[in-house]
């Protein structure tokens, strides 16, 4: 429980790290942006796109390689497709996965 409390007390730092990782991920592979901006006026610039994303769920796992999972979704775009940022206990990024 202490690990969960510590993570949640530093949630802003985790969100900043997750958004930085998302930006790099989307610079390398823009398919997620393309999927969500095909018929909209939404920016296709990775950094701008990530700034508009909403953190919609946080899952904490006691016995899982990914200690925390932070789910992000584009704001103002109807979709069930998320980018899940998975973190180790130390806050380092475990993976980023496109999920639905």
Dihedral of alpha carbons 96, 19, 81, 9, sign: positive
pLDDT at 21: 98
- pLDDT digit string, tens, across residues 14-24: 999 999 999 99
For residue 34, give every residue at least 6 positions away whose Cβ sits within 8 Å of its Cβ, in sequence order, or none.
44
pTM above 0.75, yes or no: yes
Domain ranges of the chain: 2-99
- pLDDT digit string, tens, across residues 17-47: 999 999 999 999 999 999 988 767 677 899 9
């Amino acid at each position: 429980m202490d690990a969960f409390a510590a993570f949640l007390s530093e949630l802003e730092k985790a969100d900043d790290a997750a958004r930085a990782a998302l930006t790099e991920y989307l610079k390398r592979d823009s398919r997620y942006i393309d999927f969500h901006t095909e018929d909209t006026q939404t920016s296709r610039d990775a950094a701008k796109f990530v700034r508009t994303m909403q953190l919609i769920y946080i899952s904490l796992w006691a016995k899982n390689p990914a200690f925390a999972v932070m789910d992000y979704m584009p704001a103002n775009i109807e979709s069930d497709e998320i980018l899940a940022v998975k973190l180790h206990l130390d806050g380092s990024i475990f993976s980023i996965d496109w999920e639905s």
